[in-house]
């Protein structure tokens, strides 16, 4: 039995590992990765004498997939949790605490917004439950249109955008309610009387459990373990150029005939590979747009007086170049224990690929100047690492859920073919682990 996985990011490597578990030693699994290394947008570099994640640096700890996978791979001791310090948001030219008890920044009441938005907006939020809400069950609109209409633009730009900018490198204007906030859409579909009521009904109960987890030595440890345990022939620098059906299975350029295929490539590549075999699914994948970003990691002297916060997120329209800072050595005790201070600056939002073309010098200068602005502290880096992510994050625009349903139903009609990836059911690493697992099960179904 011969199986090909196109794309060696986390989705593809999880699929390869799961296929080995499902099919056993007799399977010949080949992972074809276009770039010179596996991992896709997960990349652990080196800075200040230790590993530093320059793509994803965390995962949502409430979801079980990553801790369960670490356990399964014998890597449970790699799991680290954050310090519990809260982030700040830079809005209206000053730093203040990021509102608590929100759903992706959408508030459950006016209390947490005090100081962040003006008095008129606070009053508008307070009285929102008194205004009738019109929502057609099944509707989908961008998050900005919903939040601005109910709570005012300042809430969208100062409370919601800083969070969506981090998760999707997008903004409330580029992200749809139904795909990004499915529980909220469901509460609205059920007839919630107001947005306040809908948010309140879906907020998880207050908890002191850590929201995020991370890996002590970076994501590279997980990627290496998946590759080793998949016992696959992993070929880097090997782009899949085409996919066609045969009587028995599939033929892939450049490796020839296989019995089953998992496409774990970014949406536009998947669209291209599906064009001849599933034109409607291909069109659905082609409609998913991507956003580009850049991460600049700074190593600072240990006595840099960074605020006692996990990061500083930046609201829309503040005139800064960075969109967020993670104060990594404040957020992660294992990084603080190394000595020195570490900060990650993030740049780039959907529709503004500008920072991708800036030089390293321009990026580091912008990071240093903006970090000084938002912290009020003198910043003098001892070292830095720059990582560009062209098209690194899928935008979950309005209509995304329907597009993905169409894509998946088109692929489901083709036995031995499955898709996985961050553009399907969530951009986070846990969702990619789930997608890779589900794709392996679908592909293996024709083989076992
Ligand atoms: C800057 C940044 C920060 C992030 N932070 C977090 C975070 O803190 N927490 C979190 O949970 N998530 C985070 N994410 C999201 C998460 O990292 C990604 O969504 C996830 O890693 C994507 O994995 P993937 O395997 O689906 O896609 P990718 O990693 O994009 O992998 C796809 C692979 O396919 C390869 N490929 C492309 N074309 C071909 C071809 N023709 N043939 C063969 N191979 C091909 C690519 O080279 C790539 O390696 C972040 C993303 C970015 C960009």
What is the number of structural domains in the chain?
3
Counted residue by residue, the chain has a size of 448
Nearest CA to ligand 1 atom 22: 422
Element (H, E) at 335: helix 333-336
313-330 average pLDDT score: 97
pLDDT digits (tens, 9 = 90+) for 7-63: 999 999 999 999 999 999 999 999 999 999 999 999 999 999 999 999 999 999 989
- 407-414's contacts with Cβ under 8 Å and 24+ in sequence apart are 407/281, 407/284, 407/285, 408/281, 409/281, 410/274, 410/278, 410/280, 410/281, 410/282, 410/284, 411/274, 411/278, 411/281, 412/442, 413/278, 414/245, 414/277, 414/278
Closest to 166 measured CA to CA, from 10, 58, 300, 80 = 58
**Phi, psi angle pair for 25, to nearest 5°:** -65, -25
In this structure, the answer to whether residues 329 and 407 fall within a common structural domain is no
In this structure, the answer to whether residues 176 and 106 fall within a common structural domain is yes
In this structure, the answer to whether residues 207 and 333 fall within a common structural domain is yes
Nearest CA to ligand 1 atom 5: 56
pLDDT, residue 2, reads: 97
pLDDT of residue 442 exceeding 90, the answer is yes
> What is the CB neighbour count within 10 angstroms for residue 60?
16
Between the CA of 20 and the centroid of ligand 1 the distance, in Å, is: 22
pLDDT, residue 83, reads: 97
Element (H, E) at 326: strand 324-326
In this structure, the answer to whether residues 83 and 117 fall within a common structural domain is no
Name residues whose C-beta falls within 8 Å of residue 319's C-beta, 6 or more positions apart in sequence: none
> Does residue 226 fall inside a structural domain?
yes
| Alpha-carbon distances, residue 104 vs 15, 160, 239, 438 (angstroms) | 29, 6, 36, 27
Nearest CA to ligand 1 atom 31: 9
CATH number at residue 106: 1.10.3110.10
pLDDT digits (tens, 9 = 90+) for 280-317: 999 999 999 999 999 999 999 999 999 999 999 999 99
In this structure, the answer to whether residues 123 and 142 fall within a common structural domain is yes
pLDDT digits (tens, 9 = 90+) for 107-126: 999 999 999 999 999 999 99
pLDDT of residue 433 exceeding 90, the answer is yes
In this structure, the answer to whether residues 212 and 311 fall within a common structural domain is yes
pLDDT of residue 319 exceeding 90, the answer is yes
Between the CA of 178 and the centroid of ligand 1 the distance, in Å, is: 22
> Does residue 76 fall inside a structural domain?
yes
Question: Could you list the residue range(s) of the whole structural domain that residue 125 is in?
Answer: 102-198
Q: Are 365 and 414 in contact (CB under 8 A)?
A: no
pLDDT, residue 36, reads: 98
pLDDT of residue 448 exceeding 90, the answer is no
> Does residue 52 fall inside a structural domain?
no
Nearest CA to ligand 1 atom 2: 55
> What is the CB neighbour count within 10 angstroms for residue 351?
14
Instruction: Determine the longest span between alpha carbons in the chain, in angstroms.
Output: 68
- The Cα angle at residue 241 between residues 237 and 243, in degrees rounded to 5: 130
Going by pLDDT thresholds of 50, 70 and 90, the confidence category of residue 209 is: confident
Q: Which atom of ligand 1 is nearest to the CA of 427?
A: 19
In this structure, the answer to whether residues 208 and 319 fall within a common structural domain is yes
Between the CA of 401 and the centroid of ligand 1 the distance, in Å, is: 20
Name residues whose C-beta falls within 8 Å of residue 184's C-beta, 6 or more positions apart in sequence: 103, 106, 177, 198, 199, 202
> Does residue 48 fall inside a structural domain?
no
pLDDT, residue 155, reads: 98
Rg of the Cα trace of the chain? 22
Between the CA of 113 and the centroid of ligand 1 the distance, in Å, is: 34
In this structure, the answer to whether residues 79 and 160 fall within a common structural domain is no
Nearest CA to ligand 1 atom 51: 56
Name residues whose C-beta falls within 8 Å of residue 370's C-beta, 6 or more positions apart in sequence: 314, 320, 321, 322, 325, 345
Cα dihedral 220, 225, 226, 227 in deg (nearest 10): 90
Going by pLDDT thresholds of 50, 70 and 90, the confidence category of residue 208 is: confident
- Token representation of residue 163: 């969070």
Q: Are 222 and 379 in contact (CB under 8 A)?
A: no
In this structure, the answer to whether residues 183 and 210 fall within a common structural domain is no
pLDDT digits (tens, 9 = 90+) for 160-169: 999 999 999 9
CATH number at residue 228: 3.50.50.60
> Does residue 25 fall inside a structural domain?
yes
pLDDT digits (tens, 9 = 90+) for 377-423: 999 999 999 999 999 999 999 999 999 999 999 999 999 999 999 99
Between the CA of 380 and the centroid of ligand 1 the distance, in Å, is: 31
Q: Are 248 and 259 in contact (CB under 8 A)?
A: yes
Q: Are 346 and 324 in contact (CB under 8 A)?
A: yes
Between the CA of 387 and the centroid of ligand 1 the distance, in Å, is: 13
Q: Which residues form the pocket of ligand 1, taking CB atoms under 6 Å from any ligand atom?
A: 6-12, 32-35, 40-42, 55-59, 239-240, 264-266, 269, 293, 295, 389, 392-393, 421-422, 427-429, 432
**Phi, psi angle pair for 157, to nearest 5°:** -80, -30
Nearest CA to ligand 1 atom 33: 7
Q: Which atom of ligand 1 is nearest to the CA of 346?
A: 1
- Final residue before a domain boundary, out of 364, 379, 394: 394
- Give the strand pairing for 94-97 and 88-91: antiparallel
Between the CA of 198 and the centroid of ligand 1 the distance, in Å, is: 32
Residue with tokens 């449970």: 76
For a pocket test of ligand 1, which of 167, 421, 429 has the largest count of ligand atoms closer than 8 A to its C-beta? 429
CATH number at residue 337: 3.90.660.20
For a pocket test of ligand 1, which of 273, 422, 433, 439 has the largest count of ligand atoms closer than 8 A to its C-beta? 422
pLDDT digits (tens, 9 = 90+) for 335-376: 999 999 999 999 999 998 899 999 999 999 999 999 999 999
235-240 average pLDDT score: 98
pLDDT digits (tens, 9 = 90+) for 64-75: 999 999 999 999
Average pLDDT, the chain: 97
In this structure, the answer to whether residues 310 and 383 fall within a common structural domain is yes
189-193 average pLDDT score: 98
- Final residue before a domain boundary, out of 146, 163, 198: 198
- Token representation of residue 74: 């014998």
> Does residue 44 fall inside a structural domain?
no
Between the CA of 428 and the centroid of ligand 1 the distance, in Å, is: 9
**Phi, psi angle pair for 170, to nearest 5°:** -130, -155
């Amino acid at each position: 039995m011969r199986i090909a996985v196109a794309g060696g990011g986390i989705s593809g490597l999880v699929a390869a590992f799961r296929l080995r578990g499902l099919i056993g030693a007799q399977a010949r699994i080949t992972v074809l990765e276009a770039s010179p290394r596996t991992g896709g947008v997960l990349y652990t570099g080196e800075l200040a004498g230790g590993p530093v994640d320059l793509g994803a640096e965390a995962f949502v700890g409430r979801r079980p997939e990553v801790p369960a996978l670490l356990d399964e791979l014998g890597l449970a001791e790699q799991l680290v949790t954050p310090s519990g310090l809260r982030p700040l948001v830079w809005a209206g030219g000053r730093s203040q605490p990021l509102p608590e008890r929100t759903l992706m920044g959408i508030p459950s009441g006016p209390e947490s917004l005090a100081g962040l938005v003006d008095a008129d907006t606070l009053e508008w939020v307070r009285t929102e439950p008194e205004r009738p809400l019109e929502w057609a069950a099944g509707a989908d609109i961008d998050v900005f249109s919903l939040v601005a209409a109910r709570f005012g633009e300042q809430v969208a730009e100062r409370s919601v955008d800083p969070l969506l900018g981090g998760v999707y490198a997008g903004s409330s204007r580029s992200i749809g309610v139904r795909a990004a906030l499915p529980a909220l859409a469901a509460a609205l579909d059920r007839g919630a009387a107001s947005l306040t009521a809908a948010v309140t009904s879906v907020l998880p109960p207050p908890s002191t459990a850590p929201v995020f987890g991370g890996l002590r030595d970076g994501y590279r440890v997980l990627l290496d373990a998946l590759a080793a345990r998949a016992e696959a022939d992993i070929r880097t620098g090997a782009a899949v150029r085409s996919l066609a059906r045969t009587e028995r299975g599939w033929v892939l350029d450049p490796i020839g005939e296989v019995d089953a295929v998992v496409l774990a490539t970014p949406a536009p590549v998947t669209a291209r590979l599906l064009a001849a075999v599933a034109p409607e699914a291909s069109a659905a994948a082609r409609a998913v747009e991507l956003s580009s970003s850049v991460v600049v990691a700074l190593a600072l002297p240990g006595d840099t007086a960074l605020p006692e916060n996990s990061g500083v997120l930046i609201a829309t329209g503040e005139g800064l170049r960075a969109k967020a800072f993670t104060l990594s050595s404040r957020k992660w005790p294992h990084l603080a224990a190394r000595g020195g201070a570490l900060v990650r600056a993030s740049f780039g939002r959907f529709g503004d690929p500008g920072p991708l073309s800036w030089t390293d010098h321009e990026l580091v200068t912008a990071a240093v100047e903006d970090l000084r602005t938002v912290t009020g502290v003198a910043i003098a880096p001892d070292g830095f690492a720059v990582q560009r992510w062209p098209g690194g994050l899928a935008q979950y625009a309005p209509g995304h859920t329907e597009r993905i349903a169409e894509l998946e139903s088109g692929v489901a009609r083709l036995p031995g073919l499955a898709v996985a990836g961050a553009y399907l059911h969530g951009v986070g690493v846990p969702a990619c682990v789930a997608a890779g697992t589900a794709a392996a099960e679908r592909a293996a179904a024709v083989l076992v």
